[in-house]
């Protein structure tokens, strides 16, 4: 399974876009990019996933480079409630039958 | 629609005692998982199940047993608790979303072993 590299921590001003990078240079063709976040001591929360194309939902946007070796999670207008640890995971899809493995993630602090 | 429910939310044990954590999901998911999270650390997979009656080991299975007798329930057991098992335990279930495997987590069970 492809490994991911994320910065340990990042700061973002409230109201600004938060751009969280993730490197996954060994990703294979059938692996998805998943993003989850964990707000202080709560259970992790699914944000978004993608395979090749950029994706957007009500929470965030996911930009995947054309070679799929890196991606960026964008929170368009960060609020204090977005302060959390963000996990980028690369894993095969549902039919691959393998569980997600969480690394240490990026600790995002949104500052007023 | 409750999603994933974990019981109990808090528990204090003495070394050597046994206990069972219960995870229940109402989304008809095939896959279920148990993770643990120690202070300041990421989540580590203990055991998981890909369907009723099946279980498999994760990264840190020692000291734990699991059972999936019913599709909606996944039980995590500690036969003889040790202080090293003090942690927050998260259960999750997953289903297919546009081909991907998307997890829904419970709120966690905080276990302290004295």
DSSP string, A25-55: TT--TTEEEEEEEE-TTSPPEEEEEESSS-E
Residue in chain B nearest A33 by alpha carbon: B100
User: B8 to each of B11, B18, B21, B57, B61, how far by Cα in Å?
Assistant: 7, 14, 7, 23, 20
Q: Do A99 and B45 touch (CB under 8 A)?
A: yes
Q: Do B105 and A91 touch (CB under 8 A)?
A: no
Mean pLDDT of B89-107: 94
Whole-angstrom distance, CA of residue B34 vs CA of residue B91: 5
Under the banding of pLDDT at 50, 70 and 90, the label for residue B1 is low
- Give the tens place of pLDDT for each residue, B25-80: 999 999 999 999 998 888 999 999 999 999 999 999 999 999 999 999 999 999 99
User: B30 to each of A32, B27, B73, B106, B107, how far by Cα in Å?
Assistant: 20, 9, 10, 16, 20
Provide, as residue numbers in chain A, all residues whose Cβ is less than 8 Å from the Cβ of B98: 49
Whole-angstrom distance, CA of residue A67 vs CA of residue A46: 24
């Amino acid at each position: 399974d492809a490994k991911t590299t994320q910065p340990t921590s990042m700061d973002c001003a409230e109201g600004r876009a938060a751009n969280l990078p993730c490197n996954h240079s060994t990703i294979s063709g059938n692996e998805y990019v998943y993003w989850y976040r964990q707000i202080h001591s709560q259970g992790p929360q699914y944000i978004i996933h993608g395979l090749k194309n950029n994706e957007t939902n009500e929470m965030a946007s996911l930009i995947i480079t054309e070679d799929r070796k890196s991606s960026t999670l964008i929170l368009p207008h960060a609020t204090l409630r977005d302060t959390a640890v963000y996990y980028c995971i690369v894993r095969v899809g549902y039919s691959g039958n393998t569980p997600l493995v969480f690394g240490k993630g990026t600790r995002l602090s949104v500052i007023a | 629609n409750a999603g994933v429910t974990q019981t109990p939310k808090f528990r204090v044990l003495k070394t050597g005692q046994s206990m069972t954590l219960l995870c229940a999901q109402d989304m008809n998911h095939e896959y279920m998982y148990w993770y643990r999270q120690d202070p300041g650390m990421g989540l580590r997979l203990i055991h998981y199940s890909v369907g009723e009656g099946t279980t498999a080991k994760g990264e840190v299975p020692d000291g734990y047993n699991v059972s999936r007798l019913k599709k909606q329930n996944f039980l995590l057991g500690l036969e003889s608790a040790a202080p090293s098992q003090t942690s927050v335990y998260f259960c999750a279930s997953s289903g297919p979303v546009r081909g991907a495997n998307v997890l829904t987590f419970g709120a966690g069970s905080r276990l302290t072993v004295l």
